Amino acid sequence: MKKFFLLFLALGAAAFAADAGQDMIKAYSVVAAGVGVGLAAIGGAIGMGNAAAATIAGTARNPGLGNKLSTTMYIAIGMIEAQVIYTLVIALIALYANPYIAA
């Protein structure tokens, strides 16, 4: 499976690009944007899951602090989601306003 994935990454740009030059940069940008957003989404999901699990465990130990813990969890989840959105914005810039392509 790893070999197939590496082969896909190595030859993915050639499948997207008709000829060398700017088309190759566009193809690499598509692959990089997809991988970047995917990794950011996975990392954000893991972080949100850990935050929710810690909040549930804290509320189970001390139910009186449930509201304070929930508020803190929502702030943390907002910060985690902001990082994923930043990655999405960078990916969209790489796709549609690519600074590496000469006008």
CATH number of residue 56's parent domain: 1.20.20.10
Q: Which domain holds residue 74?
A: 47-98
Cα–Cα dist 103/84, whole Å: 29
Give 101's DSSP letter.
S
With contact defined as beta carbons under 8 Å apart, do 97 and 64 qualify? no
Residue range 18-53, pLDDT digits in tens: 556 677 778 788 888 889 899 999 999 999 999 999
Q: Would residue 94 count as lying in a domain?
A: yes
User: What does pTM read for this prediction?
Assistant: 0.70
Cα–Cα dist 84/63, whole Å: 31
Strand ranges inside 1-103, DSSP E: none
Q: Would residue 58 count as lying in a domain?
A: yes
Report the number of secondary-structure helices (H) and strands (E) in the chain: 3, 0
Q: Would residue 56 count as lying in a domain?
A: yes
pLDDT band, residue 71 (cuts 50/70/90): very high
